[in-house]
């Protein structure tokens, strides 16, 4: 692209933990005006650190950094504070955790903060705030307190604040991790419009489909640039991506699946098909809610909610951002009490303070923001806290910690500080602290958010195994794929009310109703609908790529014909 580079990194190195963890290791990068760059990589590969350096929020230990044409850092000279301050006036940044950049108690004031610091006229500030709140569908919450909003709503506030700066460069660090389908698509539409008007974008993401819209894709691995090129060039390297713990976009994976022999049907442990031989832990219903309502102040969050999670059942709760999913999870763990109705968890009334200790011994809760559960100097110490608190012998504590870290595949993080981990690594460390307690009921709030593809696949296997052991699971998720592949039953929340529930096949049969509520269907089912419209013929309702590949084989569609159909879909 023409023009002098907006960003130039040469030989950039940056380490954490006193130099023990090298997050960036000799990175060279040029970002040109108007370019749309997507950064992919496994958890801990250095993506977020790279984003922080590009945005002028982190200075490296070595190398050279030029931001918006000014030398900001030179090895042997150090950082130029004036260059960093000036660069941040023209660079918008959306943090991985939106709470890190929300600074006021009124949504519209938060969005106005950046433009006010630029000294813009009051009328221009007001116009920008109105436009960006409308862009992220938050106009109705302009006067709300952002600290009381859901994680997804907070993310949209943060995005609006960044867009209101009208930056030359917008840096997005996992902006869709906490958003529903409508929210993620809204971010992509906003990016497309900004790109069209000349704004450069650096987009860190685990959603590989989002990378297909980029001009260039960068793949990080252990602090280095492992792959670089156009989306087509990078996604042609399927073997290399697999080695880097990444995956191809769904359409590419479908072509490969169709070219393979049909895989055997998996054991009926999810998707509404229960294994009758499974030993169920506990006799009472894991969660039993009747007429539950809850409000934060005057704002109703849950309204007359009734649902049940049977002992040993896996239930996923889906709904657009702000529908009350996380609040329902907190109530189920007795972290708050309903304003009305009754709610019992593992047979214990959540209002019964005398049995609160018993309830929490039987229930494990993984928060939406795992860093809130981490507080010790090392990951191993954090995981050991619960068993030690129960008075277990030190040898037993060590055994449980080692087993749990190994179960989650993070034994190499045992001696690391939890505060120096990536968001995805923190999520697994927080989950380890929950699983080590061997709960009968697991309440999981967006456990997959921030995990790379390999991490998501691994966690799915772990959750299936826990389910097979007879544990009940209540999982809040924005991922329709996770709900389809894992759940016995799905509950749909919309504006605090239960509007649908049933098996995955039953719930996803009404795609139009889900779309009207800001939700989607699993990617394979959405792709099946598109292929049917392109002439593939009826494919049924496949909820997984393997099921879709099987349906295509049954229709006589081979890889070559599939490529033709995908060309028409595109």
Strands (E), 422-548: 441-445, 472-476, 489-494, 497-502
Strands (E), 36-130: 36-41, 62-67, 70-74, 78-79, 91-94
pLDDT value at residue 318: 96
**DSSP letters along 208-249, please?**
HHHHTT-SEEEEEETTEEEEEE-HHHHHT-HHHHHHTT----
pLDDT value at residue 270: 37
The strand pair at 441-445 and 472-476 is best described as parallel
Q: Contact 54/224 with Cβ under 8 angstroms? A: no
pLDDT value at residue 341: 97
Residue 279 has pLDDT above 90, yes or no: no
Q: Contact 343/284 with Cβ under 8 angstroms? A: no
438-489: per-residue pLDDT in tens?
Answer: 899 999 999 988 788 888 888 899 899 999 989 999 999 999 999 999 999 9
**Per-residue exposure over 549-565, b if at least 16 CB sit within 10 Å of its own CB, e if not:** bbbbeeeebeeeebeeb
- Classify residue 297 by burial, with Cβ atoms within 10 Å: 0-12, 13-18, 19+: exposed
Q: Contact 194/163 with Cβ under 8 angstroms? A: yes
pLDDT value at residue 294: 96
Q: Contact 12/60 with Cβ under 8 angstroms? A: yes
pLDDT value at residue 303: 95
> pLDDT band at 41, cuts 50/70/90?
very high
Q: Contact 302/327 with Cβ under 8 angstroms? A: yes
422-443: per-residue pLDDT in tens?
Answer: 777 888 899 999 999 889 999 9
Residue 96 has pLDDT above 90, yes or no: no
Phi, psi of 409 (to 5 degrees): 70, 30
Give the mean pLDDT of 528-540. 94
Strand order from edge to edge, sheet including 497-502: 363-366, 441-445, 472-476, 314-318, 489-494, 497-502
Helix (H) or strand (E) holding 116: helix 107-117
Q: Contact 493/280 with Cβ under 8 angstroms? A: no
Top-ranked range on mean pLDDT: pick from 265-274, 370-379, 386-395: 386-395
**Per-residue exposure over 50-75, b if at least 16 CB sit within 10 Å of its own CB, e if not:** bbbbbbbbbbbeebbbbbbeeebbee
- Cα distances from 39 to residues 50, 217, 243, 539, in angstroms, run 9, 6, 17, 34
> pLDDT band at 2, cuts 50/70/90?
low
Residue 95, both tokens: 């943090």
Residue 171 has pLDDT above 80, yes or no: yes
Q: Contact 75/64 with Cβ under 8 angstroms? A: yes
Compute the mean pLDDT over every residue in the chain, rounded to the nearest whole number.
89
Query: Distance between CA 31 and CA 90 in Å, rounded?
Result: 14
> pLDDT band at 319, cuts 50/70/90?
very high
Helix (H) or strand (E) holding 562: helix 559-569
pTM for the predicted model, two decimal places? 0.82
Q: Contact 241/219 with Cβ under 8 angstroms? A: yes
Residue 489, both tokens: 């039953």
Q: Contact 116/128 with Cβ under 8 angstroms? A: no
Q: Contact 108/116 with Cβ under 8 angstroms? A: no
> pLDDT band at 268, cuts 50/70/90?
very low
- Classify residue 431 by burial, with Cβ atoms within 10 Å: 0-12, 13-18, 19+: buried
Instruction: Identify the bridge partners of residue 228 per DSSP, sorted by sequence position.
Output: 218
The strand pair at 7-16 and 91-94 is best described as unpaired
> pLDDT band at 44, cuts 50/70/90?
confident
- Residue 19 region by backbone torsions, left for phi larger than 0, else alpha for psi between -120 and 50, else beta: left
pLDDT value at residue 5: 93
Closest CA to 443 of 343, 511, 519: 343
């Amino acid at each position: 692209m023409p023009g002098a580079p907006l960003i130039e990194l040469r030989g950039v190195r940056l380490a954490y933990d006193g130099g023990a963890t090298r997050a960036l290791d000799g990175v060279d990068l040029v970002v040109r005006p108007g370019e749309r760059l997507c950064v992919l990589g496994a958890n801990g590969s250095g993506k977020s650190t790279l984003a922080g350096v590009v945005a002028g929020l982190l200075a490296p230990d070595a190398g050279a950094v030029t931001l918006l044409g000014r030398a900001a850092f030179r090895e042997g000279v150090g950082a130029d504070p004036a260059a960093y301050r000036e660069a941040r006036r023209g660079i918008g940044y959306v943090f991985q955790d939106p709470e890190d950049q929300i600074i006021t108690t009124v949504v519209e004031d938060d969005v106005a903060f950046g433009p006010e610091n630029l000294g813009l006229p009051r009328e221009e500030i007001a116009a920008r705030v109105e436009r960006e709140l409308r862009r992220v569908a938050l106009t109705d919450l302009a006067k709300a307190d952002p600290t009381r909003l859901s994680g997804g709503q907070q993310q949209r506030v943060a995005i609006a604040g960044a867009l209101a700066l009208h930056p030359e460069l917008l840096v997005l660090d996992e902006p869709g991790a906490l958003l529903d389908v409508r929210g993620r698509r809204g971010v992509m539409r906003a990016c497309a419009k900004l790109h069209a008007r000349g704004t450069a974008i650096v987009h860190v993401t685990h959603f590989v489909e989002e990378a297909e819209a980029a001009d260039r894709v960068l793949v990080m691995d252990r602090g280095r640039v492992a792959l670089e090129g156009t989306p087509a060039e990078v996604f042609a390297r399927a073997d290399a991506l697999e080695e880097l713990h990444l995956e191809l976009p769904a359409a590419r994976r479908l072509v490969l699946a169709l070219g393979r022999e049909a895989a055997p049907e998996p054991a009926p442990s999810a998707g509404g098909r229960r294994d009758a031989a499974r030993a169920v832990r506990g006799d009472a219903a894991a969660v039993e809610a009747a007429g539950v309502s809850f409000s934060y102040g005057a704002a109703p969050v849950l309204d007359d909610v009734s649902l049940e999670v049977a002992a040993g059942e896996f239930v996923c709760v889906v709904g657009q951002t702000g529908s009350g999913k996380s609040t329902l999870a907190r109530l189920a763990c007795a972290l708050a009490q309903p304003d009305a109705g009754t709610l019992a968890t593992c047979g214990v009334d959540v209002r019964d303070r005398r049995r609160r200790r018993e309830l929490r011994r039987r229930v494990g809760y993984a928060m939406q923001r795992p860093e809130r559960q981490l507080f010790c100097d090392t990951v191993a110490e954090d995981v050991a806290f619960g068993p030690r608190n129960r008075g277990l012998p030190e040898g037993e504590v060590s055994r449980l910690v080692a087993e749990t870290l190994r179960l989650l595949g993070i034994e190499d993080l045992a001696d690391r500080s939890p505060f120096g981990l990536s968001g995805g690594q923190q999520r697994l460390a927080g989950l380890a602290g929950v699983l080590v307690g061997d709960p009968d009921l697991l309440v999981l709030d967006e456990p997959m958010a921030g995990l790379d593809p390999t991490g998501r696949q691994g966690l799915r296997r772990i959750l299936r195994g826990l389910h097979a052991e007879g544990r009940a699971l209540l999982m809040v998720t924005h991922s329709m794929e996770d709900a389809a592949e894992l759940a016995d039953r799905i509950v749909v929340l919309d504006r605090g009310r239960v509007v649908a529930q049933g098996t995955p096949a039953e719930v996803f049969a009404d795609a139009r109703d889900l779309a009207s509520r800001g939700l989607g269907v699993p990617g394979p089912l959405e792709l099946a609908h598109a292929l049917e419209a392109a002439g593939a013929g009826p494919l049924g309702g496949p909820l997984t790529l393997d099921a879709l590949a099987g349906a295509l084989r049954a229709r006589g569609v081979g890889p070559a014909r599939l490529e033709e159909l995908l060309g028409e879909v595109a």
